[in-house]
Chains A and B, each alone.
Chain A
């Protein structure tokens, strides 16, 4: 079953613009992770934000987490054509003491030169 739901499903922007993707989830979580996938290949881990964190940065990436609204956002600043990919949020509920990720269906980002 899907826990995270990304919004929008697809996003098309020009190089240099910022891209914002949102993720909503349903149950309490230990952490939320964002991944990138290029054209049906493996997933690349971008960033992990813990349930007690509100904001995290990594290079051109900024992730926020609002546990009261059960939502997260991923901001990519100054987008590049190489950022073209699908982006997934994954929630770690882990209430059994170990980690299982539940993924959303992803946002397809197209960055045009």
Chain B
């Protein structure tokens, strides 16, 4: 079974631009979560989608948004990029959103804002 696939792996953008990251979950998994990892803040939850609906959202500004498609693939978008948005963005997929469900992560997209 293929794992979680994130594209692209690396991205360099300029301040003020916007960026879209993609995540394809494990086949059969319907829940997709996004996390931001930085050296200073560690791993922080961005949002979670299940069946095309955002079920939960972390404490990030409105510049961070996402969506999920009917095939469970998800995208996250960051508008008006700031230098502080440079981070590793990780996507995780789960079979469901129930408790005690393991989350499987992709390799991440490393975003550098210059």
Contact = CB atoms under 8 A, between A and B. Distances in A.
A90 B35 CA distance: 12
What is the predominant secondary structure among interface residues of chain B facing chain A?
strand
Given A98-B98, A100-B56, A103-B42, A45 B107 contact: no
Contacts, number: 75
Contact of A102 (B6, B45, B48, B97): B45
Contacts of B99: 30-31, 92, 94, 97, 99
- Which of A31, A43, A97, A102 neighbours the largest number of chain B CB atoms within 10 Å of its CB? A43
B104 A92 contact: no
Interface residues of B, number: 32
Nearest to B56: A100
Interface string B66-104: 000000000000000000000010101010011111111
B105 A43 contact: yes
Given A40-B110, A42-B105, A45-B102, A99 B43 contact: no
Interface string A81-93: 0000000101010
Contact of B90 (A2, A42, A92): A42
Interface residues of A, number: 29
B104 A45 contact: yes
Interface in A1-44: 1-2, 30-31, 33, 35, 40-44
- Which of A2, A35, A90, A99 neighbours the largest number of chain B CB atoms within 10 Å of its CB? A99
Contacts of B102: 33, 45, 48
Interface of A: 1-2, 30-31, 33, 35, 40-45, 48, 50, 88, 90, 92, 94, 96-106
Query: What 9 pairs between A and B have smallest CB-CB spacing?
Result: A98-B97, A103-B43, A43-B105, A42-B107, A30-B99, A105-B42, A94-B99, A42-B105, A31-B100
10 contacts: A1-B59, A31-B100, A40-B88, A43-B90, A45-B105, A48-B100, A97-B99, A99-B31, A99-B48, A99-B99
